[in-house]
Structure 1
Amino acid sequence: MRLTMAEMALWPAIGAHYTPILRQRTFRRRGAAAGSGESRSGVRLVEAAFGILGATALRLDGVLDAGWESPKPKAMLAALLVAPGRTLPGDALVRWVWSQEQPRPTRTTATLDTYATRIRKLLKRLPVTATLRGHRGAYRLDTDRAAIDYFQFRDLVATAQRHFRDGRSAEAAHHADQALRLSRGRPLDDLRSAGALAWRTRFERDELIPAHTTHLNALIDLGRADEALVLLDDLQSEHQDSLALHKARLAVLHALERAEEASEYYLDVHRSLRTEGDPQAADHLRRHHESLITRAHSAPWTAPREYQPPRQLRFDVHNFVGRADQLSELNAHALDADGVPVRGIIVLEGMPGVGKTSLAVHWGHRVRDRFPDGDLFVDLHGHSGTPAATQASVIDELLLGLGEEPDTSAAPRARAAVLRRTLANRHTLVLLDNARNSDHVRELLPLLAECLVVVTSRNSLTALATKYNAQRIQVQPMTEAESTTLLGTRLGGRADAGLRAEVVRLCGGLPLVIAVVGQNIAEYRLRREHADLPPRRLLLELGIDADGDNSPQTLFTWSYRALPQAARRLFRLLGLHPGSEFSVSAAQSCWGRDEAETRECLATLVGAHLLERTDSLDRFRFHDLIGECANNLAHTDEPTELRHTATRRVLAFYLASATAAHHTLYPDSDAGPPFDLPAQVSPLTYADEDAARTWFATEHSTLMATITTAANTGNHDLAWRLPHAVSTYLEQLGYHEDYRQAMETAVTSANADGEEEAEASSLADLGRSHLTSGRLADAQRCLHQAMVFADASGNQRGQCAIRFHLGRIAMLVGDATTGVRLLGESLELAQAADDIEARRWTHYELGDALRVAGEPTKALLHLREAQQHAIAAGDDYALALVLAGISSVSLAHGEHTEAAAFGVAAVSTAESSRNTSAIVTTCTVLAEVRLTTGASAAAELLATRAVSLAERVHDVPVHARAAEVLGDVLAEQGRHAQARRTWLEADELYHRLGSTAGRHRIYTKIADLSH
């Protein structure tokens, strides 16, 4: 007789590879080719924009093109495509881009930046929206997962497996077939790096072979075991040693009632496995073969008629969304290789509202047919508005579920014994929801030893893992795509796309919060338009009505109230911290306690999933909504005076730490006047420049938030000092927009603080920011306002700096006469004030101005003077620009060898300084030299790099010049259309600057090109 798959059970997916030849020869004769359309179950199938199930490909001009780039950019994109929406750090990308035998570039971050620029240009040509974001060497690709063939494959396979479990074998075969058709060869077939090879191995072992087994199982159930055998012939010709395929062949042969052939095949393989020294695999195959024979001659076991198995799981979530990884993890821990449930404990942990209960219930419904003895559900009320369930009450509830009336007169120990006896020899699924901690369930678990127990909790139940070998699964917030889908199921057509996107962003992937907003979207829309509250604050307050309080704020507060007193206070004071991420030292400043107590309370908050650790051991972050909840609690549970004191402490911590970092990196540069450090604040110190630079990079976004918080909370004396402590770092690293915003705050706060000199200084720095961003009129306005104070007070340093920048502006707009005059006045003031730093920079800028004005001999004198000052000060940033200026003068004199030597030295020095604008300027100058000497290929590489970096740092003057030079190179190469486009980009930048001279040069070049 033919065995059904319910009788045979699924065989495990153990390492085999999919063969594209098989797909071409077998699948095409059974159905239409895969493409855009709709499957029989209504699943929408679209053409993939990204392909990784084969050579890495992009859909360009309607064709899935695998030859779009060289291997390394393809490897970088592939790494991002297997994890869309997730930020990958630089070291992870390096494992994907470079194989172990390949030498890595000296500056991997810069190289990855270059690859990213090339990828972005191609993304614009795709039929879907895709955005590649980069920050400090880490990258994230945001796009619809459905546009990637790998995720289409996963969705189709998941659908096929669901159909098969539900007994719809025809639909299962159809969807598995469609999934396998997506293969264009081995996945990532064009990549050889460690990251790509590791992912390919995992995919083929854990996803591709299970897809094949689902397909084969469905074919057998449909009476098409002969087709399954043909498929196995091809698969096994490629993978002769696969145990999974050996077991599959035995199952197919038994389904075809070819028992004798199956026995012969089994004996041959079993003998071979033992000969090759793999007795464990041989024994596994023996047991599988014997089980097939046994099942062929016996009927499936059924429960006794008098026993009615309990079915207590809550209602499954309608239109359950996402969680594929967690569902797979649950299956891996709960089911053995043959799909049979095991006995043991699984813990689902995660922050409030992340969807632990929904996930557990949904998974329970998916596998409940594998538990013939039923399923039980108990809410332990560990974090809720009602008292937590006691062990005695849980035992009674479980007995009732099993049909046993608890004897209330018996001692609790006797009732526990009844529960253990009742569950003996019954393999039941038990879901214990919302445990407060390990102690809440510790004494229950021995009574459930015959069951599979799933526990959900907001706390980390590490004790269960230690004592009972419980398998812990971290339930993370949903991805943006999953959140969007879930919100769509809740809203239907009740909100426009903009409102939906806003809600998804604010909810931060928490399904429970998404559900609350979906039910109260009209109230949210109305209050957002009329209430003077931040959107997240409004969202937290939704869900309070006559039927009770189901608001996210109350949901989170249950966890807060369960904390020890010290941890509660730290939690709410951390809500005052500017920014969602912070270090242990910053947390200390929030409440003024010592490091040991701070670390202990932080660990408590992490265990309660109210905080999470970052990739660093000493750094933590809030989920945005939980951080907003903490801020609310700080305003309700903390006295006003203590709250203000805590805020000032943490602001002062960042100001003092930033000032120390500034002095470490730029010892010759002033970071602003001193201030009185509050008690209980211990600012950071730095061992060297790298440590200070790393701190600035790590705390960048927090420092910007700190400036805003200082101004908003009335701490204006700190609000205008903070921008000056971070300004040099922001300027030298090319964060010009952040620099501008910081200085605007400094101007406003200095005025509010009554500090006229600080206001003037901030105005001058704001003018510099406008200059870099190409807003020359705004720059002149700010500088002239600052000059009024400088001239009135006789502040020579201020007068010098302001004339310096006004001279730069004059040069940018083409007024060389005024520029040289103002820079000359600036130099005289710098010499009178004996300001070494000002003399260094003014000599450089005046030298460059004289070069442009056609006085190269005078220019060289000033540049040489600036060179000596820069060397003496150890200022690589200034030295790089000076060397570039000397290179330009040498080039104008026709001294090509000297020009090239100074240009190369300038680029090398700029890279040592890590100043992006300096790298752009020096690369541009060296590109001009290479172009003049006939090395156009080298010139193109340099100019392309300059333009790419300039786009990132938004330094308009250097960007304009870099684009102009790149156009020159392209024109010299005869690529006239590209040259014209690039020159027009430069013209737009010169237009923003108001540079008539720059625009005139561009028009002349375009006109000459036309002739």
Structure 2
Amino acid sequence: MEITPVSKPVEPPGQAIWRFRLLGRFSVEKDGEAVSIRSRLHQSLLATLLAHPNQVVPADDLVDAIWQRRPKNASNSLHVLVKRLRAALGDAERVRAEPGGYRVVVAERELDLLEFTSLLTAAKGAEDQVAERNYLSAALTLWSDGLAPSPLGERDHSELEELRLTALSRRIALDLETGREAEAIPELRRLTQRHPLREGFWAQLMRALYQAGSQAEALAVYADARAVLADELGVEPGAELRELYAAALSADGSGAWQPVCQLPSGIDDFVGRDDILARLEQLLEPGEATRVVVVWGQPGVGKSTLAVQAAHRLRERYPDGQWFAALYDRHAGRTSAHELLEQLLLAGGLPAGQIPAQTGARSAALRARLADRRVLLVLDDASEAAQVVPALPGTGGCAVLVTSRRSLLDLPSARRTRIEPLRGDSGIQLLSQMIGADRVAAEHVHAEELVRLCGALPLALRIAGARLSLRPEALLSSLVQRLRDERTRLDELAVEGMEVRASLTLTYRGLSPPAQQALRRTAVLPRTGFPAWALGAVADGGDGERLIEALTASALLEPCGVDEIGQTRYRTHDLVALYAQDLASEEDRVPSLRRLLDVLLARGKEVYREAARWTEELQPYQPPGAAPSEVDLVPLECPAAWARAERNLLLAVVDQACSAGWHADAARLADLVIPALHLGGGFDQLAATRQRIADAARAAGDELVAWRADYGRAEASLAEDVAESERTFVACAAAFERLGATTELAFSLTGVAFCRMMRNQPDLETAERAVRIAETGEDRIAYCTASRTLAQTLQQLDRTREAVSILKKTSQEAAELNVESLTAGLFRELARAALLLGDVDTAAAACADAAPLLTGNPHDEGWLLQLRSRVETAQNRFADAAATARRSHEIFTDLGDRRAAASSLIWLADALWRGGDHTEAAALARQAREALAAMGSTILAPEAERILTQATRSV
């Protein structure tokens, strides 16, 4: 807080003498008599102005300080309040209106705050320590104990209190420097009780006791300070307290060995990790060589807590001492190897005056000190191996347990154990121990979600538990609701002394600039996982493997399995992913997304070239006038398998491209890869992707792309809701006719006719119109697809021989197009028509012709198996027919095609009924009928009713 000094005024005779007290107890006097200012609002106004004497305080700041809830007309309310304050003071010129705010006019002798700051200024310029102490003492006497709550706002009150405590700490420091420790000790004991989180007072109390020769009491004070800081803030004492502790330990000056345990206390609510504790005990068993173990993992995963628990369990095996050194302090920063060696030598009993000045000499002295001893060293939060190596013992018998955010691969002869987030019920157990098992049990579902939102990280869970423990009446669901918002989740995971973001920041700052950039750019990659090449693509084409190694070595990435083409996939922990989102700027997102999109568009062309023999959909969209970016890539061995492995990445990039305003590129990428992805099922996900493109295209005024995306959504929705697909196809047909998009119109009309056929409402007029329109276009796939649907419609109208003629003609043209799924589909329709005509041999032959065309196409393979089951039933091979139908049902179930899976059940029921298993046949027929009815597909309803009736009669 800056105070504007004023000169002492020369008061005219008869001038009233004012005295304003702000330091401690607030009061106003005029000529020695108290001025009554009863209104709390008036007191707050005057106190806030006095906290900034002779300065203009902005009106908004005054409003915020005075009212907890801002008045509707704040300006007028403040004006009225000032007017009434002037009346209460009886001095209209004391509070003056200024542009933008108000100012109180006071002389130095009138306001204790001005006197206080003036004395502090004099203390800084004092010629010696005695004069400085006298000025500070005089300044501190101006403070009085407040008998009532201060009318000051929290910020001003805190700033004034900080001024007082800073002055008090300096005066006590002067007392200690001038041999007044006996006087300072009682005062410091009171201060540590009133301000337990100010490490400076604890340090001064330790120093006073140490100077007074009370080393044991100094050590006890350290223990008290450490306990308070651990309980309240979850941190260890800072460097000054630790150095005083080490000095107190070696106070005898003899250098004689004394076993010392410096371990922080274990925690009562430690959960899980039993397997890792057992492993650490095994790795740290004393042996002929020094045992060195690195416990590493992502920020907040509980490395330090685990190391302390393990060290306590190992105490008896290291009877010569258990030393603990924190290598990072949030105030003092990183501990150097030089500083660490000093701490350890002091812990080993070496007098401070005998500690060598050079780092190398200190390292040698420590090795000598530890020779033939059995000491366990716990070195917490090492940032690099160089910080630790000089402290490694040179002989066997000792052990070193290091915790780090990095793997410290260059630490010699070290064994490493990576710590993962809590698993199983451990997160629930931790919450139960922090806030009570009854409270967790009462909201068990929300407790489980809370653990998930915290990523099962102990630090995050401890923060959540601390917040909940402060408010026993609060529901877990209220905190869960706040944590659900990813934009503010990291803000919520913070409490005094503990903060997930701060822990992540410390790790981030330790990365190289390329690794920092790579972490930021993971913001455009899916959290489900990504391969190394994708990280390289978003990082300006960098070496993805090396970047993966750098981030994995800092526990910011974790492997999450190997995909079907043998790539190891990696993911960021959910909270790390949110941190990367926070860090990523537009300069990170836009270039990285553009490069990744260009790579995927190039790969998409490879995928489509392979999938073209399977797809009967619209040709991929080509943005008009767009010059595709050239990306130099090694060709894929199996593009379709690659697309399946990268499904989540592809769809995530489509979504982000839409958000970035690149809907045309998003549409093209979707058209290139979705035919291959369609073979893997997940139709609801594909439909959602098409909807995202449609929304983005409409927002940009691009109707053609929007309606093409709607067409694709209808295709994907056929597996779930035939009626909905029909409605969408009808809307698409109307739009494409209006836009003059002939090929798209033909496909849409074919879709309408197909849906109506599936709903047992054959629409010959629409099917014939689709063929006529397709005949006039250049897309022969559209013509063949429309012709096949026309043939299916004719079969439904008992005009099977006409359908066979169309199918034979269309099969010849399809064979020339080299679209294997289309040709196979026509063979299937020929087989179905042959069955209707009673020609089982022709149907079997058509199925055999279709089979070789469907290698790697599970969806069409499922339909062929369904038809083969019908052929086998017609051949009285009921067991084979049932087995074939079951396989078809399994394929469609795995793909998520509920409509196809239900239709397979009908033919399975038919085979079972004919084979004599009437009970299961009836149950399956009923199940299939209900499932298809729910999806609006009634084409097989008569078959289901026939089987159900016959099977029920037989039962």
Shorter-chain TM-score tier: 0.5 to 0.7
- Give runs of aligned pairs for residues 757-776 of structure 1, distance below 5 A: 757-776=704-723
Asked if 1 retains the 8 angstrom alpha-carbon contact of 2:290 and 2:393, the reply is: no
Distance 2:611 2:350 in 1: 74
Deviations, residues 130-184 of structure 1 (Å, cap 9, x unaligned)? xxxxxxxxxxxxxxxxxxxxxxxxxxxxxxxxxxxxxxxxxxxxxxxxxxxxxxx
Query: Do residues 558 (structure 1) and 506 (structure 2) align?
Result: yes
Amino acid at match of 2:644: A
Q: Percent identity among equivalent residues?
A: 24
Distance 1:764 1:416 in 2: 73
Asked if 1 retains the 8 angstrom alpha-carbon contact of 2:288 and 2:396, the reply is: no
Partner of 1:289: none
Deviations, residues 9-62 of structure 1 (Å, cap 9, x unaligned)? xxxxxxxxxxxxxxxxxxxxxxxxxxxxxxxxxxxxxxxxxxxxxxxxxxxxxx
Distance 1:686 1:761 in 2: 31
Partner of 1:781: 727
Partner of 2:20: none
Work out the number of aligned pairs and report it: 683
Among 530, 546, 552, the alignment partner of 1:582 is 530
Deviations, residues 693-740 of structure 1 (Å, cap 9, x unaligned)? 122112111222223323344443444444333331232332311221
Distance 1:439 1:372 in 2: 28
Among 591, 600, 603, the alignment partner of 2:549 is 603
Partner of 2:130: none
Deviations, residues 106-153 of structure 1 (Å, cap 9, x unaligned)? xxxxxxxxxxxxxxxxxxxxxxxxxxxxxxxxxxxxxxxxxxxxxxxx
Deviations, residues 51-82 of structure 1 (Å, cap 9, x unaligned)? xxxxxxxxxxxxxxxxxxxxxxxxxxxxxxxx
- Give runs of aligned pairs for residues 357-376 of structure 1, distance below 5 A: 357-376=304-323
Change (3 A) 1:393 1:811: same
Give the Å deviation of 1:986: 0.7
Distance 1:671 1:899 in 2: 34
Partner of 2:243: none
Distance 2:310 2:405 in 1: 19
Partner of 2:696: 749
Partner of 1:801: 747
Deviates more, 1:518-527 or 1:501-510: 518-527
Query: Do residues 318 (structure 1) and 260 (structure 2) align?
Result: no
Give the Å deviation of 1:752: 0.9
Distance 1:360 1:952 in 2: 45
Change (3 A) 1:918 1:643: closer
Give the Å deviation of 1:924: 1.0
Give the Å deviation of 1:459: 1.2
Change (3 A) 1:497 1:652: farther
Partner of 2:88: none
Amino acid at match of 1:519: A
- Give runs of aligned pairs for residues 281-430 of structure 1, distance below 5 A: 308-335=258-285, 343-381=290-328, 386-407=332-353, 410-412=356-358, 413-430=360-377
Among 736, 739, 750, the alignment partner of 2:686 is 739
Amino acid at match of 1:320: F
Asked if 2 retains the 8 angstrom alpha-carbon contact of 1:527 and 1:538, the reply is: no
Among 600, 608, 612, the alignment partner of 1:654 is 600
Query: Do residues 868 (structure 1) and 816 (structure 2) align?
Result: no
Asked if 2 retains the 8 angstrom alpha-carbon contact of 1:946 and 1:962, the reply is: yes
Asked if 2 retains the 8 angstrom alpha-carbon contact of 1:804 and 1:842, the reply is: yes
Distance 1:870 1:732 in 2: 20
Give the Å deviation of 1:582: 3.1
Change (3 A) 1:676 1:311: farther
Give the Å deviation of 1:880: 2.8
Query: Do residues 439 (structure 1) and 386 (structure 2) align?
Result: yes
Gaps of 5+ in 1: 1-305
Distance 1:880 1:487 in 2: 58
Query: Do residues 976 (structure 1) and 918 (structure 2) align?
Result: yes
Amino acid at match of 1:563: L
Partner of 1:72: none
Distance 1:658 1:373 in 2: 65
Amino acid at match of 2:908: L
Give the Å deviation of 1:865: 2.8
Amino acid at match of 2:801: T
Distance 1:420 1:715 in 2: 64
Distance 1:988 1:855 in 2: 29
TM-score when scaled to structure 2? 0.66
Distance 1:438 1:527 in 2: 44
Q: Secondary structure at the match of 2:265?
A: coil
Partner of 1:626: 576
Change (3 A) 1:889 1:783: closer
Change (3 A) 1:677 1:399: farther
Amino acid at match of 1:494: R
Partner of 2:929: 987
Change (3 A) 1:408 1:671: farther
Among 666, 670, 693, the alignment partner of 2:619 is 670
Change (3 A) 1:968 1:624: same
Give the Å deviation of 1:965: 0.9
Distance 1:555 1:675 in 2: 49
- Give runs of aligned pairs for residues 995-1006 of structure 1, distance below 5 A: 995-1006=937-948
Query: Do residues 888 (structure 1) and 837 (structure 2) align?
Result: no
Query: Do residues 966 (structure 1) and 884 (structure 2) align?
Result: no
Partner of 2:137: none
Distance 1:509 1:717 in 2: 40
Gaps of 5+ in 2: 1-255
Q: Secondary structure at the match of 2:381?
A: strand
Give the Å deviation of 1:800: 0.9
Change (3 A) 1:761 1:1004: same
Deviates more, 1:601-610 or 1:944-953: 601-610
Distance 2:431 2:599 in 1: 40
Partner of 2:515: 567
Amino acid at match of 1:670: Q
Partner of 1:844: 788
Q: Secondary structure at the match of 2:429?
A: helix
Deviations, residues 420-471 of structure 1 (Å, cap 9, x unaligned)? 333221112111111101111122214575411111111121112xxx3221
Among 758, 774, 777, the alignment partner of 1:812 is 758
Change (3 A) 1:942 1:795: same
Amino acid at match of 1:860: V
Change (3 A) 1:908 1:519: farther
Give the Å deviation of 1:815: 1.7
Asked if 2 retains the 8 angstrom alpha-carbon contact of 1:580 and 1:624, the reply is: no
Asked if 1 retains the 8 angstrom alpha-carbon contact of 2:263 and 2:323, the reply is: yes
Give the Å deviation of 1:904: 4.1
Change (3 A) 1:618 1:732: closer
Partner of 1:226: none
TM-score when scaled to structure 1? 0.63
Amino acid at match of 2:862: V
Partner of 2:492: 542
Change (3 A) 1:755 1:663: farther
Distance 2:597 2:484 in 1: 22
Distance 2:918 2:427 in 1: 47
Amino acid at match of 1:877: S
Among 410, 422, 426, the alignment partner of 1:478 is 422
Deviations, residues 602-635 of structure 1 (Å, cap 9, x unaligned)? 432222222235546775432221121111111x
Distance 1:854 1:452 in 2: 87
Distance 1:378 1:409 in 2: 17
Partner of 1:451: 398
Once superposed, what is the RMSD of the aligned Cα atoms?
3.0
Query: Do residues 711 (structure 1) and 658 (structure 2) align?
Result: yes
Asked if 2 retains the 8 angstrom alpha-carbon contact of 1:716 and 1:752, the reply is: no
Partner of 1:176: none
Partner of 1:138: none
Distance 1:664 1:494 in 2: 57
Asked if 1 retains the 8 angstrom alpha-carbon contact of 2:494 and 2:500, the reply is: no
Highest RCO, 1 vs 2 (Cα 8 Å, sep ≥ 6)? 1
Asked if 2 retains the 8 angstrom alpha-carbon contact of 1:506 and 1:536, the reply is: no
Deviations, residues 883-932 of structure 1 (Å, cap 9, x unaligned)? 2222222333333333333334434533x0x3332122111111111122
Give the Å deviation of 1:675: 7.1
Partner of 2:894: 952
Q: Secondary structure at the match of 2:390?
A: coil
